[in-house]
Every structure is written in C-alpha cells, then in structure tokens.
Amino acid sequence: MKWARTVLPPVVVGVLGLAGWELTVKLGRIAPFILPAPSAIWAELVEQRGNVLDAALASGANALAGLIGGTVVAVLAALLTSQARWLSDVSVPFAAVVNALPIIALAPILNNMFDSTSSVPRRLVAGIIVFFPVFVNTLRGLREVDPTHRELMDSYAAGGWKFARLVRLPSALPHLFTGLRQASSLAVIAAVVAEYFGGLQDGLGARITSAAAFTAYPRAWAFVAGACALGLAFYLTTLLLERLAMPWKARS
C-alpha cells in the first residue's frame, strides 16, 4: 500500500487536471488561441505525428550534440582546474557569474558567425549552457575528498595519478551526474528555444512559432507537447545512465 501512497496522488492530480482542463475549455467556450482543449491537442498530435517526430529528431540531435560536447569540455576543464587550488577557487565564481547571464541571447551572434544553414550555432549554445552546471558540479566532486580516504591512500603510499584514478574520479561520479541531470534538460530547452532567435529552422522551436503565426494553436501546442516529451526522454535517459554507471547507489 506504500506504493499507492506515493503513486496515487500524482496520478489522481494528473487525471483530474486533464479532465478539468478539458471541461473548462469546452464548457467555458474558451477560444483555442488562449487554451486549446487536451482532446484537440491530442488530435493534432496524432495527425501531425510525422512532422512532430521529424522536428523532435532535429532538435534532439542538436540537444545531444550540445550535451555531449559541453559535457566533455566541462569534465576536462574540471579535471584541469582541480589540479590547482587557486585556479578552482577563481573559476567557480566566474562560472557562477556567467551562468547568471541569459546565454541563450548568444544565439543571434552565433548565427552570424556561421553559415545560415548550419546547425552549429544551436549546438554551440546548447553546449555552452550545458558546460556550466556540469563544470561546477564535477569540480565540486573532484575537490571534495573524504579525509579518511586520503589517509588510507597515504598509508598505501599511493598518490598522484593512482589516487586520482582510484579515489577522486569514482567519488566525483555522483556529482557529475547531478550536473548532467540539470544539463540534459537545459540542452533540450536551449536547442528548442535557440530557434526563436533565427537561424536554421528545422526543429521544434521553428514549428511552434510558425504554427502560432498561422494561429493554428492546437497544432502549436502539439509541438510543445513533443518538446516536453523530448525533454522527458533526455532526463529519463540520464537517470538510466546514472543507474548503470553507479550500481552502488541503487541498492541500500
């Protein structure tokens, strides 16, 4: 019954929410430009499923490219900066400052720097946005070392690279995944929203704006639903990866 306690309330809320939404729109005769009914959105989704899938794949590819690129650079940067105390003390505040800026606003500039038919600007923006949470979290993980582990490895006369390989990297893994969880969602958001700023228009963002421009609101919402599904897929995949990479966290 414990299972019911945790699963039932959100399911009930979800069902009630959808039902309430449907009823309010139908009975209140709310125009679709304000809020389409879930049934209308679903109908559009089914009809447009080919387009939604294509656009989702395009955005997904951009998000993935940004995610992988940004993560690799961030992990390398974290490894480098963790070697020097002063470097890491100085780079964390810098990263925090840059992270407070609307990085997405870089999109138009990047579009200028590259060809207008290039996917690179969107991937770059996603990569930059991904970099910061992964960098900060991985760095934190690399710097925090359990003093008992330190002493133990000292007693084994194992330092330098051995210590990094056997202790630092594995204990930084949970922190890396914390950053990765945030980053995976941010990558999707960046890939979709970057299209609002111009550039190549083959992903979900472009579909949403064009559908809205044609006042085909249920269709626009259908594409939004596709974007949400994409975000969820990324997040869940990251959770799965986490489970696989850290089997010791699962059992306790």
Partner 1 sequence: MRRVFGALGGFAAFVALWEGYKAVGAPEGTAVWGVHILPRTDDLSMPHLYTVIQRLGHPELAGGRPIWRVVLDACLFTFGITAAGFAAGVLVGFLLAALMQRFGVIERGLLPYVVLSQTVPLVALAPLVAGWSGRLSFGPYPWQDWMTVSTIAAYLAFFPVAVGLLRGLQSPPASGVELMRSYAAGWWRTFVKLRLPSALPFLFPALRLAGAAAVVGAVVGEISTGTRGGIGRLVIEYAREATSDPAKVYTAMLGAALLGLAVAGFVSLLEIPLMRHRRRVEVNVI
Partner 2 sequence: MTAVSIAGVTKVFNAGRSDEVTALSDVDLTVDSGQFVSLIGPSGCGKSTLLRLIADLIEPTSGTVTVAGKPARQARRDQEYGIAFQQAGLFEWRTVRRNVELPLELRRTPRQQRRARAEEMLGLVGLSDFGGHYPAQLSGGMQQRVAIARALAVHPPLLLMDEPFGALDEMTRERLQTELLQICAKTETSTVFVTHSISEAVFLSDKVVVMSARPGRIVATIDVELPSRDEAARQSTAYFDTVTAVRKALRS
Q: Where is 107: in which H helix or E strand?
A: helix 107-113
When CB distances are held under 5 to 8 angstroms depending on the partner's kind, the choice from partner 2, partner 1, none that residue 90 binds is partner 1
> In terms of CB distance, is 142 or 227 closer to partner 2?
142
In the chain, the N- to C-terminal Cα span, in Å, equals 21
Could you count the other beta carbons within 10 Å of the beta carbon of residue 244?
Answer: 9
- Per-residue mark of binding to partner 2, 117-156 (x: CB under 8 A): -----------------------------x-xx-xx-xxx
- Per-residue mark of binding to partner 1, 196-235 (x: CB under 8 A): xxx-----xx--xx--xx-x-x--xx-xx--xx-xxx-xx
The answer to whether 142 and 172 have CB atoms below 8 angstroms apart is: yes
Give percent helix, percent strand, percent coil of the chain, each to the nearest 5. 85, 0, 15
Q: 116 vs 50, 111, 113, 151, 189, CA distance in Å?
A: 25, 6, 9, 56, 21
> In terms of CB distance, is 168 or 195 closer to partner 1?
195
Query: Quick one: 73 exposed, middle or buried, by C-beta within 10 A (0-12, 13-18, 19+)?
Result: middle
The answer to whether 139 and 93 have CB atoms below 8 angstroms apart is: no
Q: Cβ 217 to partner 2, closest distance in Å?
A: 50
Rounded Cα–Cα distance for residues 240 and 84 (Å): 33
Q: Cβ 149 to partner 1, closest distance in Å?
A: 22
> In terms of CB distance, is 201 or 209 closer to partner 1?
209
The answer to whether 69 and 127 have CB atoms below 8 angstroms apart is: yes
Q: Which residues in this chain contact partner 2 in the complex, by CB under 8 A?
A: 146, 148-149, 151-152, 154-158, 162, 166-167, 170-171, 173, 246-248, 251-252
Q: Which residues in this chain contact partner 1 in the complex, by CB under 8 A?
A: 5-6, 9-10, 12-14, 31, 33-34, 89-94, 97-102, 104-106, 108-115, 118, 120, 178, 181-182, 184-185, 188-189, 192-193, 196-198, 204-205, 208-209, 212-213, 215, 217, 220-221, 223-224, 227-228, 230-232, 234-235
